[in-house]
Amino acid sequence: MTDPTAIQPSELDQLPDRDPEETAEWQASLDAVTEAAGPHRAAYLMRRTLERAEGAGVGLPKLLETDYVNSIPTAAEPAVDGDEEMERRITAWNRWNAAAMVTRGSQYGVGGHIATFASAAWLYETGFNHFFRGKEGDGSGDQLYVQGHASPGIYARAFLDGRLSEEHLDHFRREAGGNGLPSYPHPRRLPWLWEFPTVSMGLGPISAIYQARFNRYLTSRGVKDVSASHVWAFLGDGEMDEPESTAALALASREGLDNLTFVINCNLQRLDGPVRANFKIVQELEAQFRGAGWNVVKSLWGSAWDELFALDTTGALVRRLRQVPDAQVQTYQTRDAAYIRQDFFGADPALVEMAKLLSDDKILECFHDSRGGHEPRKVYAAYRAALAHKGAPTVILAQTVKGYSLGPGFASKNANHQMKKLSVDEFKDMRELLELPISDAQFVDGVVPYGHPGADSPEVRYLQERRAALGGPAPARRTHPLAPLPAPADKAFTAFDKGSGSQSVATTMAFVRLVKDLVRDKQSGRRWVPIVPDEARTFGMESLFPSLGIYSPKGQTYEPVDRDQLMYYKEAKDGQILNEGITEAGSMADFIAAASSYATHGEAMIPFYIFYSMFGWQRTADQMWQLGDQLGRGFLVGATAGRTTLTGEGLQHADGHSPVIAATNPAAVSYDPAFAYEVAAVVKDGLRRMYGEAAPGEDQNVFYYLTVYNEPLPQPAKPAGVDEGIVKGLYRFNTAESAGLNVPANASRIQLLGSGTAIHWALKAQRLLAEEWGVAADVWSATSWTELRRDALESDAAALRGEEQVPYVRRALEGVDSPVLAVSDYMRQVPDQIAQWVEQDWSSLGADGFGLSETRDAARRHFGVDAESIVVAALAQLARKGQVQATAVKEARERYGL
């Protein structure tokens, strides 16, 4: 058994020591300091030595954790470039109106959050007055990811500068009337103000990282110089527990994104209680970010603590601050001076002596009020340090008190996240604390008034002048009128019209070939942004590597192993492909940044993100919703789609439900094309709608989702007159007669509706029905069950308004006097979306349940969707109508071994 007291081997033991005697002297010095002055002094000297080594460029590992003090001492703080007293008054008005807005809204039961902005007010106000660049200056301005629960404070500031009225504030969380304000940052609901939806916890941080990265991508590729844009992400310390919050930290440091700053509001509380009750979240986050290569700036204590640190000649105060867990710091916020003297200072004799020099008022000032995040000079210094640091992103850990300035009933209470209102008396106490000129007479019938110093007041003039100097209002979303992108030449789309003859081509390959042609377009080709999560070879995209290049800020610093091959792995500083490695979340964050570039930067980009269909909507549906909320445009491509087409991979790869999830997203325009020419038609229409001349009343702020398959099959020629049906979701591909099948003139007939790869099973079933059972079947391609449903829902809504509107699916099937059998490679719920609007007798087949590892044929037989299963289902449906003998069904089952 290993002796725990023995000196364990170190990796340093493996390195040659050219002067063992000198090494022994250094070690002996450390031992001597430890023995004479104690381990704390030894640790202090070691940290100082490591800091000196780091500053001198000596290649040593960085310290992951520093003392629980501010990174920037008071003496090193730069002077604030502005009127601090004026900014204090502005912040006071914002605090008041944010609390009033939520409290007044509480009478309607709509909820809201007061405590978060109260803790973060100075984090925002300092930025708005000194740092955040608007969109009316040069470039694109800065990008602000506002913490969702702080939205009332942003509305309060927009009210002060005249962008919102009292009516707006009175309709916080009540949008139906037309003048309402959404609960959180929602670009789709308030598109002139909000750029980025952030309240879905964890998505703000990862999106901010990839936005900063996409800014570099645009600049490197010469699309637009946005090097002056800075991305600011305001986050909660509890939010950092979400996996997405820290998933891409290494990317940001690896690529040196010094155009990015995280500001983490460390109020030490999450929704139910302390973030780290028995630990210290600030120290944990510092170690995490430093370990990932970020620059860390801690702003923990206000200037009231300067006196205490000056008295700390032994380091006892710093040691005690490291020891006290966060939940106890929260407790100090609610206790009197006597408790703090005993519990905090009483833990060390040196601190007992220090406390004798401090008045009760001084102790309460430090422990109740003085936090780095509540002092504009501290925040200003941290922001300046962040912008000055080059070569790496910066995180600012700003300690605050949740519910600060709202009174003892709110500050640091575990339940304050759920507390939605203040009483009149609490507002009056708040008024005195903030020194606001609001009289008792303004509280009419117990309703708290909004406060405003006047449109021509010094406060409002100062606020507007500061914003004008920084490039206009913020936050703000601008969609400058963009000329429609020129449509690519038809040649790229018509290349599939003649079919592939005897050659077998998967629709995945058809899509890749289409994109290869489109990126060569002289006018719009450079605007395509191919995104792939380390599966380019799976989808046959490696041919794009040498022609487009993979984006890397370093270019290619090595000789690729396949350099002598035609399709070698090429990285370039101006590369067009974003190959993100194995991260669907990161790839989606890329997509969102590119998809909304038309608004963020006034540059329309055309992203397409191709992925295993199983790993798209199932894993990142929340980000797809974020994409829709952010009004993003582009093409999501679920490759190797379907439950039975990906041979051998098994249930974790077999997608039978992504169209169901996609159907829940109002911004997703979903297609399941069967043939190469359908893929081309859908992409062409998507380019027209999102980037070209949209039809009147047609929403451009949508994104397209296409499922494509890896099963190579002969591609047929495009029938005449099917373009409308492809786009709308349904058209008749052929009839038994046009397919050249020999069926009796009075044969029973059935309509087979298939989507995606399933149409090939339907075509085989069509032949079997004719040749072996004398039944005529017509085959229809259902390119989009979801779009058919949405069209039908619109018709239903029109009927409620007294307007007559026939659903397209009903019009397409008009005159058909035979049953309908629908089949897809997805669960039956997918085709059943349209069942209620089909007037004919309806039945469906699908791949319900879990996937399995098998061959394609065996998997389809297992799920009962292969051609033979379709034949049996069709005969059964006709038998129920009395159109074939019931014995035919039993005979077919036996013949096909079902």
Per-residue pLDDT band for 418 (boundaries 50, 70, 90) equals low
Confidence of residue 2 (pLDDT cuts 50, 70, 90): very low
Answer for the pair 729, 781: CB distance below 8 angstroms, yes or no: no
Q: Which residues are within 8 A (CB) of 650 and not within 5 positions of it... i.e. 6 or more apart?
A: 851, 852, 853
Scan for tokens 């109740």, then name that residue: 368
pLDDT digits (tens, 9 = 90+) for 781-799: 999 999 999 999 999 999 9
Per-position b or e across 791-816, b if 16+ CB within 10 A of its CB = bbeebeeeeeeeeeeebbbbebbeeb
Nearest-angstrom CA–CA distance, 190 and 180: 9
Rounded Cα gap, residues 863 and 880, in angstroms = 22
Supply the pLDDT for residue 86.
Answer: 97
CA end-to-end distance (rounded Å), the chain: 64
Residue 383 has pLDDT above 70, yes or no: yes
Task: Return the number of other C-beta atoms located less than 10 Å from residue 319's C-beta.
Answer: 18
Query: How many Å apart are CA 333 and CA 549, to the nearest integer?
Result: 56
The pLDDT of residue 16 is 79
761-767: Cβ within 8 A, 24+ apart: 761/823, 761/860, 761/865, 761/866, 761/867, 761/870, 762/823, 762/867, 762/870, 763/739, 764/867, 765/867, 765/868, 765/870, 765/871, 765/874, 766/734, 766/736, 766/739, 766/741, 767/739, 767/741
What's residue 201's pLDDT? 86
Does the pLDDT of residue 416 top 70, yes or no? no
Predicted pLDDT at 411: 67
Q: Are 404 and 411 in contact (CB under 8 A)?
A: yes
- CA–CA separation, 251 and 212 (whole Å): 11
- DSSP percent split of the chain into helix, strand, coil, nearest 5: 45, 10, 45
Q: Please, how many CA atoms are within 13 Å of residue 314, restricted to the half-sphere of its CB?
A: 13
List alpha helices for 38-106, DSSP H. Answer: 39-55, 84-105
Instruction: Tell me: cis bond preceding 185? Omega within 30 of 0 counts.
Output: no
Query: How many other CB atoms sit within 10 Å of the CB of residue 883?
Result: 16
Beta carbons of 442 and 452 less than 8 angstroms apart: no
What is the pLDDT averaged over residues 552-568? 92
* Mean pLDDT for the stretch of residues 571-594: 96
Q: What pTM value is reported for the model?
A: 0.94
For the ranges 53-62, 252-261, 694-703, which has the lowest average pLDDT? 53-62
pLDDT in tens, 438-488: 999 999 998 999 999 999 999 999 999 999 999 999 999 998 777 889 999
Sole residue written with tokens 């969109």: 135
HSE-CB at 756 with a 13 A cutoff on CA atoms is 31
> How far, in Å, CA of 275 to CA of 241, rounded?
9
CA distance 614 to 642: 8
Instruction: Give residue-wise pLDDT tens across range 320-370.
Output: 999 999 999 999 998 999 999 999 999 999 999 999 999 999 999 999 999
Question: Which secondary structure element, helix H or strand E, spans residue 72, and what is its range?
Answer: none
pLDDT at 1: 42
Residue closest to 633 by CA, chosen among 710, 537, 702: 702
Place of tokens 């590729």: 221
Supply the DSSP symbol for 472: S
- Over residues 822-831, the mean pLDDT reads 97
Cα–Cα distance for residue pair 452/442, rounded to 1 Å: 12
Structure tokens at 311: 């008295």
CA-to-CA dists, residue 334 to 280, 317, 341, 639, angstroms: 19, 21, 14, 56
Q: Given this model, what pLDDT does residue 426 score?
A: 92
Count of beta carbons in the 10 Å neighbourhood of residue 579:
22
pLDDT over 60 (residue 158): yes
Structure tokens, 487: 């449509």
pLDDT of residue 5: 46
Check pLDDT > 70 for residue 80.
yes
Distance CA 304, CA 674 (A): 70
Q: Are 788 and 730 in contact (CB under 8 A)?
A: yes
Residue 632 C-beta-side C-alpha neighbours within 13 Å: 30
Q: What is the largest CA-CA distance in the chain?
A: 109
pLDDT digits (tens, 9 = 90+) for 686-737: 999 999 988 888 999 999 999 999 999 999 999 999 999 999 999 999 999 9
| Residue-level pLDDT at 53 | 84
Which residues, 6 or more positions from 457, have their beta carbon under 8 angstroms from its beta carbon?
Answer: none
pLDDT at 60: 76
How far is it, in rounded angstroms, from Cα 634 to Cα 20? 63
Q: Which of 227-231, 562-566, 570-574 has the lowest mean pLDDT?
A: 562-566
What pLDDT is recorded for position 646?
Answer: 84
DSSP state of 346: G
Span 486-518, pLDDT tens digits: 999 999 999 999 999 999 999 999 999 999 999
pLDDT higher than threshold 80 for residue 10: no
- CA–CA gap between residue 168 and residue 154 (Å, rounded): 13
- Asked whether residue 772 carries a pLDDT value surpassing 90, the answer given is yes
Closest by CA to 653, choosing from 530, 535, 505, 814, is 535
> Distance between CA atoms of 217 and 625, rounded to whole angstroms?
24
Taking the CB of residue 721, how many other CB atoms lie within 10 A of it? 8
Which residues have C-beta within 8 Å of that of residue 10, sequence separation ≥ 6?
Answer: none
Q: What is the rounded CA–CA span in Å between residue 359 and residue 341?
A: 10
Q: Exposure of 109 by Cβ count < 10 A (0-12 exposed, 13-18 middle, 19+ buried)?
A: exposed
How many whole angstroms separate alpha carbon 871 and alpha carbon 765?
6
Output the CA torsion 237→243→245→247 (10° steps). 140
- Confidence band (pLDDT; 50, 70, 90) for 532? very high
- Residues 6 or more apart in contact with residue 4 via CB below 8 angstroms: none
Q: What three-state secondary structure class fits 212? A: helix
Q: Where are the alpha helices (DSSP H) in 164-315?
A: 166-170, 203-220, 243-246, 249-254, 281-291, 306-311
In this prediction, residue 419 has a pLDDT band, given cuts at 50, 70 and 90, of low
615-637 average pLDDT score? 95
* Token pair of 850 as six digits: 């879990």
- Structure token pair of residue 695: 């039809």
Quote the percentage of the chain above a pLDDT of 90: 83
Residue 296, C-beta contacts closer than 8 angstroms, at least 6 positions apart: 66, 71, 286, 289, 290, 394, 395, 397
Question: What pLDDT, on a 0 to 100 scale, did the predictor assign at position 54?
Answer: 78
How does the average pLDDT of the chain come out, rounded? 93
703 beta partners: 668
For 90-134, the pLDDT digits (tens) are: 999 999 999 999 999 988 999 888 889 999 999 999 999 999 999
Report the chain's C-alpha Rg in angstroms.
33
Q: What pLDDT band is residue 844 in, cutting at 50, 70 and 90?
A: very high
**Strand positions, DSSP E, 533-683:** 550-551, 571-572, 578-579, 606-612, 635-639, 668-671
